Structure 1
Amino acid sequence: MNKKAFIFDLDGVIVDTAKFHFIAWQRLAASLGINFTHEENEQLKGVSRVNSLKKILEWGNKTITAEVFQEKMDQKNEEYLDLIKTLDTSDIMPGVHNFLLELKDKNQPIALGSASKNARPILEKLGIKNLFDVIVDGTNVTKAKPDPEVFLSACSQLGYHAHDSIVFEDSVAGVQAANTAGMISIGLGEKDILHEADEVFNHFTDMPEDYINTLLNKNK
């Protein structure tokens, strides 16, 4: 059987934490007198916490000191961590768990490639951390998507070349990162937004039967 490196983003692919990010960012923005919308939150998908806060300040035409900037970064993370305490196995995105189990059954290597610095505790709460051979997250990469560093690091740690890697992403920045790396990009979400991906599905449950074997024979 062919083998590929299967690399998954976290937020919006494995688990729906977008709602928690939105609430945390909205509260932070409000504390700075900035109105923060769902549309703006969409633009922060796949973007690091530092760059997300910079964007919010830019949208609100606000300037803060480096000290306050760090305080707000910490505030957002504390809010987010408090919100995700309620996470459990029911929060896994539709079809993901079965897809991961099927990959394991086929002895395919699996990695997480996420900008989140909270990836490990989230995977533990979901009860699926043991399904990942490699976890690359915001604690061990320095460049945010659309830079492909997180995905290149993941495939390297799995022992695979980029052209033998498949990335599952829900953000434009993530799809662009996968494409830049020369990896197959599978988008999860709306086709009109993720049109740069090689293929797009709303959910894993929308993928055709035996799709993993199709991917194993697919080249960029």
Structure 2
Amino acid sequence: MSAERNGTAQAPRALRGTRAVVLDTDGVITDSARLHAAAWKTAFDAFLRPRGERPFDPREDYLRHVDGKSRLDGTAAFLESRGLRPSDAEIRAVAAHKERLFTERLRAGRVDAYPGTVRLLRALRSAGIPLAAASASRHATELLEQAGVRSLFDTLVDGGEAARLGLPGKPDPALFLEATRRLGVPAEHAAVVEDALAGVEAGRRGGFGLVVGVDRARTPATRTALMEHGADLVVEDLAELLTRKED
């Protein structure tokens, strides 16, 4: 066993007693949420503009309606929030447009991991705590490898795996529960780390011992929304957990 994973260090106080941690990918581990939001805006606006609808807001609409969800679920949720009743074919077309745009932007530039997240991951591995990455995105493996952090995780459950296993999307907790099953730790002894409202709600529904919300927007409104959807605590950067005392 490597020195990094020797289990001799102590877990951060805020996570003391936690036996496993499951982290969402986009916006929690990697700085890729901005690419998703930009791709969604282009795809949605192309659908909304001919219908005289106001444009997609890449912050508010992204957070409330599509962040953390599968492409099809996110497409349907947002369009229905505008009072629209798109056909299945229209939903698939918007989702496919978004996927093409995101893939193009992902291949055109580098996506990095958040330094604060990497610091926390290394501290948890040093303490011997199993780690899982979980994401509704089929690009999660590529994102983690591009950011150079795939090796920090014991397991990964991504959108491809979710589809193969027939797992429902967030806010259903199935994705996270599959991750803890693979780690061999009951949900009540594990923590979920999420920036999406749907993901935070999934952690709460799944009975996880701790649900950590990540507020990258750093606004009172997003912090409040994360708490209302089930976060036990909210941080702006995961490095805060290295010094934060238990509440």
Band the TM-score falls in, shorter-chain normalisation: 0.7 to 0.9
Equivalent-residue separation in structure 1 for 2:93 and 2:60 (angstroms): 25
Give the aligned partner of residue 203 of structure 1: 237
Using a 3 Å threshold, how does the CA distance of structure 1 residues 83 and 3 change in structure 2: closer, same or farther? same
**Residue pairs, 1:111-190, within 5 angstroms:** 111-141=132-162, 142-183=167-208, 184-189=210-215, 190=222
Residue from 110, 120, 131 that aligns with 1:87:
110
- Is residue 194 from structure 1 mapped to residue 215 from structure 2 by the alignment? no
1:11 maps to 26
Number of residue pairs aligned between Structure 1 and Structure 2: 211
CA contact (8 A) 2:43 2:98 kept: yes
- 2:232 partner amino acid: D
- Work out the percentage of aligned pairs sharing the same amino acid: 29
Q: Which runs of 5+ in 2 are unaligned?
A: 1-6, 8-16, 216-221
SS at match of 2:226: coil
TM-score with structure 1 setting the length: 0.86
- The secondary structure found in structure 1 opposite 2:44 is helix
CA distance in 1, matches of 2:211, 2:187: 11
| Structure-2 separation of matches of 1:116 and 1:103 | 24
Aligned CA-pair RMSD: 2.2
Q: Secondary structure of 1:191's match? A: helix
Letter in 2 for 1:26: K
- CA contact 2:18–2:190 (8 Å) conserved in 1: no
Question: How far apart are the structure 2 equivalents of 1:130 and 1:48?
Answer: 25
SS in 2 for 1:101: helix
Equivalent pair of 1:4/1:109 in contact (CA under 8 Å): yes
Kept in 2, the 8 Å contact 1:187–1:199? The answer is: yes
Q: Distance in 1 between matches of 2:35 and 2:225?
A: 21
Q: Report the 3-state secondary structure (helix = DSSP H, G, I; strand = E; otherwise coil) of the residue aligned with 2:223.
A: coil
Q: Which runs of 5+ in 1 are unaligned?
A: none
Letter aligned with residue 129 of structure 1: R
